Every structure is written in structure tokens, then in C-alpha cells.
Amino acid sequence: MSEFLFFVYARKSGHSPALHSSGRSGYAAAMMSQERILQAHGGGGELTRRLLAAHVLPRLGNEWLNPLTDGAILPRPGGRICFTTDAFVVQPLAFPGGDIGVLAVCGTVNDLAMMGARPLALSLAMVLEEGLPIATLDTVLDSVAAAARQAGVAIVAGDTKVIERGAAAQPGMTITTAGLGEVSDSVDLRAARVAPGDVVIISGRIAEHGLAVMSAREGLTFETELLSDVAPLNGLTADLLAAGVDVKFLRDPTRGGLAGLLADLADEAGWSVEIEEAKIPISPAALHTADLLGLDPLTVANEGKLLAVVPASDAETAIQALRRHPLGRHAALIGRCTDSAPPLVELLTRAGGRRLVQRPYGEELPRIC
């Protein structure tokens, strides 16, 4: 059913064809396909080679991946390197605005970007459930390829394993990506540098990824135009850093949402953070959907937004740099760091009240990424 929902969204919405055009026909083909993943596709034998040759390499192939050796040899990087990994278990595999393939690329590219790194290479390991339609795999791989192209980074190493069919209604998959990036010497992102008076900037409208996935899962298809914001942020961070802004803290509000990230900021910087609810960019569709689902948008995951802390004197430069980029059009200053002790996060509400913002305790939204 979730695959069907995807179409409704995809047809209604004007989402990026670069990332999602393959999804429309791909998931339709998957539904009708007879070809399914077998245990033997993950066995490392002839059938694994055929799967790679017919499905993976035509989509992701490059000089490093094609030889199917144990690893990719890359030239010596120009500076310090950044190394990161993320596992992706999102359900359903496709959701309004993206799928697990886009997410797996963007999640890791964004981890690199938030460390101030320029992505050099990604790895991609897939654990497929037996019975997964091969056309679904193809569609996910198309998304991986499109997202990697958008981020300007190659998949240079990979692995494919197959496990028995799980408990879910449809056979699924999980993807783990790792990323390697290069960090320029001028980047110094340490929360310890944050000081009272520094301002907090968000690059755009919040909560769209988590709400889009939850809408798909809850069948709220016709209620909303909401799409996941999943996107690679390395271009946006490069622009921000190139503008000469003294970025002291740079993170993306994924799991745990803006609330979780602000709690991290207060913890790590050792200063309080004061946020103005009225300044937090959020679309009417997101507000409406959060209301329908009974969720606090502050705790909902984003996959294409960054939060930066910069000196107040750099605020305008930072916001202008972000707004010039298509992914930063709605960038806004939402608050500032203060010396009120102990270090806490306070929200000045629209109604003029104050409330404490806390890190969500556990799983507001399971399997959101």
C-alpha cells in the first residue's frame, strides 16, 4: 500500500525530477515484477556477480566500483579527512519526496557536510530481505545514483547481503552508507567556541521529512502536500563557509529534530539557548500534519536542513549566503545563546510564554531514517 501512496504524492507534487523521476515508473514496475531477490543473490557466488553486473554497476558503476575488488584505492587527500557512517531503516522504503536510496546518500553526505567536509567518496552496503522485487532494488539504486550525482560524489565501495523475509507485510531492505570527506584547515567547528550572544540560524522549514514519512505510514495521502526535505547539504555548507562566516557549530536536525539538536548545543556549548517560536520556519502543511498526527514539530526529523551558530556580527552574511542557495531559501535567525544558568533550551512561544525544550526521550517516530 505504501508503494501506491508514493504515486499519489509523486503525481500531486512538483518534487525534484532529478531525484525522484525514476521512482514513479520504478515502483510501479516493482509491483508487477516477478523477479525477486533470493538468498543466493547475497552468497558471493555467480548469482551475486550477475546481480551486481546487471543491476548495480549499470547504475552506480565507476572506475573504483567496477573492478569489484575488496576496496577502492583513492589518491592522497589534500587535507584532514572526515569519516562517518549511518544505517538507514526507513519504512516504507518510498515516501513522499524520496526513498531509502536518496536518504542513504544524503544522510551520509550531510554528516560529512556538518563536519565542514567536502565529500570525496561513499560506500554503500545493502541488506536485502529475500523476496524483495528486483525492480524495487533497481528503483532504490536509481535514487542512490541520482542523489550521488546531485551531491557530486561517487559510490566507490559496496556490499550486498540477503536475509530471510522479516515480519513486515512487504520484504524490505536496510542500507548503511559510510562517507569520506576532506576538511579544509580553516574549518573549526567546536561547540566550546560558542559564546553568549552568538545567534542560531536554521536553513529552512522544519519537520518535513518525519512528517512526510509518518503521513505515508498513516495513510494521510490526500490530506497534505507535504514532501520530505531530503537533500544533500554539501553545496549549502560550502557556500556558507566560503562566505567567510565564522561558523562555530554546524549540525543537521535529523532524529530528535530541532529540539534534540538544541539540547545537544546547550550541553556541548555549556550555554543556554533561547529560541523564538514565531521565527522558526515551518510550512502550513507541516503545521497541519503535525497537528493531525499529534506530533511536536520541534521533535520531528529533518533530512535537508542545517542549524548553524555564528557570531551576531556574521548573522546577516550567513543568512544571505544560505538564502542564495535553492536549499536555503527560507533560512532564518531563530534565537541566540545566553549566559543564563544552568544551560537549558527555552522557547519563547507565539503566545508570549516560555517553555523548556527537552531532548525527546526515545522514539517519537520509529524508522524515520
DSSP 8-state code for residue 291: H
Q: Is 179 in the site for its own copies (CB under 8 A)?
A: yes
Q: Which is nearer to its own copies, 233 or 347 (CB)?
A: 233
Give dist(CA 146, CA 130) in Å, integer. 25
Name the one residue in this structure whose C-alpha cell is 515508473: 25
Taking CB under 8 A as the rule, does residue 63 contact its own copies? no
Stretch that binds its own copies, among 65-73, 214-222, 226-234, 321-329 (CB under 8 A): 65-73
**Minimum CB separation from its own copies for residue 267, in Å?**
10
Query: Given the complex with its own copies, which of 110 and 224 has the nearer CB atom?
Result: 110
Instruction: For the beta carbon of residue 11, count every other beta carbon within 10 angstroms.
Output: 8
Q: Which residues pair with 345 in a beta bridge?
A: 273
Q: With binding defined as CB under 8 A, does residue 58 bind its own copies?
A: no
The binding track of 131-170 with respect to its own copies, each residue x by CB under 8 A or -, is -------------------------xxxxxxxxxxxxx--
**Shortest reach from residue 285's CB to its own copies, in Å:** 24
Cβ pair 18, 146 in contact under 8 A: yes
Q: What's the half-sphere exposure (Cβ side, CA atoms, 13 Å) at 293?
A: 29
Report 10-39 residues binding its own copies (CB under 8 A): 38-39
**340 grid coordinates:** 543564563
- Per CB under 8 A, does 357 bind its own copies? no
State which of positions 75-94 bind its own copies (CB under 8 A). Answer: 75-89
The distance of closest approach from Cβ of residue 17 to its own copies in the complex, given in angstroms and rounded to an integer, is 29
HSE on the CB side for 281, CA within 13 Å?
A: 19
- The residues in 95-114 that bind its own copies, with binding defined as CB under 8 A, are 110-112, 114
Cα–Cα distance for residue pair 185/214, rounded to 1 Å: 40
Sole residue written with cell 566550546: 192
Q: At what angle are helices 2-12 and 17-32 packed, to 10 degrees? A: 140
User: Helix 234-242 to helix 315-323 angle, to the nearest 10 degrees?
Assistant: 140
**In the stretch 247-286, what mask flags binding to its own copies with x, by CB under 8 A?**
----xx-xxx---x--------------------------
Residue 153 CB, nearest distance to its own copies (Å)? Answer: 12
Q: Shortest distance, CB of residue 232 to its own copies, whole angstroms?
A: 14
